[in-house]
Amino acid sequence: MTGLFTSIKLGPYELPNRIVMAPMTRCRIDADGVPADMNATYYAQRASAGLIISEACAISAQGVGYANTPGIYNEAQVEGWRKVTQRVHNKGSRIFLQLWHVGRISHPSLQPDGNLPVAPSAIRPAGKAFTYDGPLPFVIPRALRTEEIAGIVADYRDAAKKALDAGFDGVEIHAANGYLIDQFLRSSTNQREDAYGGSVKNRIRFLSEVVSAISEACGTARVGVRLSPENHFNDIFDDAPQTLFENVIDHLNSLGLAYVHIVEGVIHSSGKIKKTFNYGKLRARYQGQYMANNGYGKKRAEAALSTGSADLISFGTPFIANPDLPNRLAQNLPLNKMDESTFYVGGVNGYITY
């Protein structure tokens, strides 16, 4: 029976287990966006995962939305990430980089020349940006002109090339959690009247162009896509998510991606919110490897794998406090408690001290 410790072929790679470390922003990077030794130590400590997905990484200066987060758009950043990938590879694991453009989830103080953040439409999100001056209210973003979009697609392609250059085994396109690609996908944030807005087909166009451009750079088998069909984190909603995301899956199906990575339900909600989306239907439609996430423990993970409702499971918060999570799951050892107060603050504490 398939379980967490059954090996799996993912694109060109054979993974020894189906335990994936989910992407997690930890806000422990200097303002230049360059990873340092401490970050390499953090990832190396967690390299018993079958696959690690890095924290989200800005594809351009315009793609930055939080203080102390990394980039993958200049040579110094490539050099910094190389230390991370080498340490992870020395431990025999694989690591993909998560490609990120935040769109409207930013602030002029984080943007080049103090510009407005960009988005599909000029709609301000509720909430506050995480800036170097503390939390500041989001602003009304500038709607992208049609002719600007190709430049952002090219930034994605260049960033993917740099990720491979830095030694990553592949890339994950962050199309989840209310950031730029998700803003194009969903009706509450996309009110465009050009070829990138309106119909479901048009709203999928930006994601589709990003996937094609990155696939040219990396080969499709080294590309994953992360989606969050009903998550409303970052003030995002859709009128008909089931139809939208089934269409997204149909589009991705023919491409031969390494995997799709589905955040089921709502994150940061303590699991209190009832799921209304039918993930089984999504899974049944997808012909490649399906990675499930959100609130999984061993029992639920083994059940999902044995029934085929997922091919891999990604764990986020359990990996923060349990660098040796696969061993603990294998031996049914108790898990360390995480300290949420250290999730997004600088320093070693709660980062490499577990």
Ligand X SMILES: Cc1cc2nc3c(=O)[nH]c(=O)nc-3n(C[C@H](O)[C@H](O)[C@H](O)COP(=O)(O)O)c2cc1C
The set of catalytic residues is 179
**C-beta of 194: minimal distance to ligand X in Å?**
28
Q: Does 60 bind ligand X (CB under 6 A)?
A: no
| Options 17, 294, 322, 342; binder of ligand X; rule CB under 6 A | 294
User: 297, 327, 262: which is closest to 50 by C-alpha?
Assistant: 327
CB atoms < 10 A from the CB of 177, how many? 23
Q: What does the alpha-carbon distance between residue 55 and residue 69 come to, in Å, rounded to a whole number?
A: 8
Could you say which residues in the range 170-199 bind ligand X, by CB under 6 A?
174, 176-177
* Smaller CB separation from ligand X, 117 or 224: 224
Return the bridge partners of 224, or none: 172, 259
Q: Does 346 bind ligand X (CB under 6 A)?
A: no
**C-beta of 239: minimal distance to ligand X in Å?**
23
**C-beta of 138: minimal distance to ligand X in Å?**
18
* Smaller CB separation from ligand X, 121 or 293: 293
| Options 11, 23, 178, 323; binder of ligand X; rule CB under 6 A | 23
In the complex, residue closest to ligand X by CB: 316
- Stretch (H or E) spanning 20: strand 19-21
Contacts of residue 353, defined as CB under 8 A and 6 or more positions apart, other chains included, come to: none
Tokens of 223: 């590309």
Q: Does 25 bind ligand X (CB under 6 A)?
A: yes
Q: What does the alpha-carbon distance between residue 153 and residue 135 come to, in Å, rounded to a whole number?
A: 29
- Measured N-to-C along each axis, helices 37-45 and 75-90 cross at an angle, to the nearest 10 degrees, of 30
> Are residues 207 and 260 in contact, defined by beta-carbon separation less than 8 angstroms?
no
* Smaller CB separation from ligand X, 151 or 347: 347
Contacts of residue 293, defined as CB under 8 A and 6 or more positions apart, other chains included, come to: 22, 261, 262, 263, 264, 313, 314, 315, 316
Q: What does the alpha-carbon distance between residue 187 and residue 185 come to, in Å, rounded to a whole number?
A: 7
User: 83, 256, 54: which is closest to 174 by C-alpha?
Assistant: 54
Could you say which residues in the range 204-233 bind ligand X, by CB under 6 A?
226
Could you say which residues in the range 40-59 bind ligand X, by CB under 6 A?
55-56
Stretch that binds ligand X, among 8-16, 157-165, 187-195, 311-319 (CB under 6 A): 311-319
**C-beta of 338: minimal distance to ligand X in Å?**
9
**C-beta of 343: minimal distance to ligand X in Å?**
4
| Options 22, 97, 236, 260; binder of ligand X; rule CB under 6 A | 22
Q: For 172, list phi and psi in degrees, rounded to 5.
A: -115, 125
Stretch that binds ligand X, among 40-48, 304-312, 313-321, 325-333 (CB under 6 A): 313-321
Could you say which residues in the range 81-100 bind ligand X, by CB under 6 A?
98
Residues in contact with ligand X, counted by CB under 6 A, come to a total of 22
Strands 95-100, 51-58: pairing is parallel
**C-beta of 195: minimal distance to ligand X in Å?**
27
Q: Where are the alpha helices (DSSP H) in 219-297?
A: 241-253, 279-285
Tokens of 353: 């001290």
Q: What does the alpha-carbon distance between residue 179 and residue 172 come to, in Å, rounded to a whole number?
A: 14
**C-beta of 59: minimal distance to ligand X in Å?**
13
| Options 284, 295, 330, 336; binder of ligand X; rule CB under 6 A | 295
| Options 35, 70, 316, 326; binder of ligand X; rule CB under 6 A | 316
Site string for ligand X, 235-274 (x = CB under 6 A): ----------------------------x---x-------
Cα end-to-end span (Å), the chain: 33
* Smaller CB separation from ligand X, 181 or 267: 267
Q: How far, rounded to the nearest angstrom, does the alpha carbon of residue 162 sit from its chain's CA centroid?
A: 17
| Options 13, 24, 41, 309; binder of ligand X; rule CB under 6 A | 24
Coil, helix or strand at residue 172:
strand
Contact residues for ligand X (CB under 6 A)? 22-25, 55-56, 98, 174, 176-177, 226, 263, 267, 293-296, 315-318, 343
